[in-house]
Amino acid sequence: MKHISPRAERGFSLVELIVVIVLIGIVGGIFAMQVLPAIRAYLVVGQRAALTGQADTALRRIVADVRRAVPNSLRVAGNQCLELVPSSDGGRYRSDQDYSTATPAGAFLDDGPGLKTVFDVLTQPVRLPTSGDRIVIGNQNPNDVHGGDNVGTVNSAAVSTTPGIAAYSIALAPPGLRAPDGYTGARFMVVPRNEQTVAYVCNINAGTLRRITYPSLSPAPRCAAGGSTALVASGVTACNFVFTANQGATQQSGFVQLQLTLTGKGESVPLTLGAHVDNTP
């Protein structure tokens, strides 16, 4: 039988264990000092990317509404509220009777005296207008459309029984509508009845950007509660909306500049987005 000496059976001493623990602590500390900055930088980059994505999504949401707005309906109140009249469809209306037959046909709109309550549409709709939708023709400035000038209210719409004459016809609620003086574009826009005004409002104290919709038009900007509200962005610490209508020779192409700063978890990201505004009525 092999004899094992007591020295061979001895394990680690307390001092040896302490030395090993100290060495592991030193190595771990050095490793942490090298890796921690990289981890922090990674987290910072991730937070900035998240804030940038949120700001970009919010601004592009505004631009999407700007691009579908009724021409010349954009207005700003201060620098933290932007309002517009959105459109859901549009088309070309008949501006005179059809003289291709022996008996002139077709209900039309023109700038002559008297208001019309029925007119033909020559283009196909995305969807037929429904009762309560608004019709806007030849809008020249925000005061007109927000004040209800050159705006009619739809009673009904029906597909034409004579496709060669019109695609469909629109019946308006009295008193009806006429084309603005001198307007020859023969274009109209449809404004949805439940969303006749859209406002984007920043509240720096609350740190929010909200989209507010109103089922009506208003001559004066509202830019406040009272409509249907949806949160677009939170953590807002700065906000600035600037709109240049470019009146005169360049009126057909306005420009809106949107600036938004979001802050969260110690990081702050400013973002600016610009968009051309088609003001051709």
Q: Which two tokens stand for residue 121?
A: 């549409």
pLDDT value of position 39: 63
Bridge partner list, 171: 118, 156
Task: Give the phi and the psi of residue 76 in degrees, each rounded to 5.
Answer: -120, 145
User: Rounded to an integer, what distance in angstroms lies between the CA atom of residue 66 and that of residue 240?
Assistant: 16
Q: Which two tokens stand for residue 86?
A: 């959105």
Bridge partner list, 277: 254
Bridge partner list, 137: 188
Specify whether the backbone of 149 is left (phi greater than 0), alpha (psi in -120 to 50) or beta. beta
Same domain, 107 and 170: yes
Residue 26 lies in a domain: no
pLDDT value of position 121: 95
Task: Give the phi and the psi of residue 155 in degrees, each rounded to 5.
Answer: -90, -45
pLDDT value of position 4: 55
Same domain, 106 and 73: no
CB atoms within 10 A of CB 213: 17
pLDDT value of position 170: 96
pLDDT value of position 42: 54
Same domain, 177 and 99: yes
Instruction: Report the amino acid identity of residue 262.
Output: L
- Angle, vertex CA 108, rays to CA 107 and CA 114, nearest 5: 110
pLDDT value of position 36: 67
Same domain, 264 and 244: yes
Same domain, 114 and 146: yes
Task: Give the phi and the psi of residue 140 in degrees, each rounded to 5.
Answer: -105, -20
User: Rounded to an integer, what distance in angstroms lies between the CA atom of residue 48 and that of residue 264?
Assistant: 9
Last residue of one domain, picked from the residues 173, 191, 209: 191
pLDDT value of position 5: 56
Same domain, 229 and 262: yes
Same domain, 219 and 94: no
Residue 32 lies in a domain: no
Number of domains in the chain: 2
Regions of the chain with pLDDT less than 70: 1-12, 16, 31-32, 34-36, 38-45, 102, 225, 247-252
pLDDT value of position 225: 66
Residue 116 lies in a domain: yes
Same domain, 166 and 105: yes
User: Rounded to an integer, what distance in angstroms lies between the CA atom of residue 232 and that of residue 229?
Assistant: 9
Same domain, 210 and 77: yes
Residue 5 lies in a domain: no
Last residue of one domain, picked from the residues 130, 163, 191: 191
Last residue of one domain, picked from the residues 191, 217, 232: 191
User: Rounded to an integer, what distance in angstroms lies between the CA atom of residue 14 and that of residue 276?
Assistant: 77
Residue 6 lies in a domain: no
Same domain, 168 and 182: yes
Same domain, 180 and 271: no
Range of the domain at 270: 48-83+195-278
pLDDT value of position 73: 94
Residue 36 lies in a domain: no
Same domain, 61 and 121: no
Residue matched to tokens 């950007």: 209
pLDDT value of position 101: 73
Helix residue spans in the chain (DSSP H): 14-67, 142-147
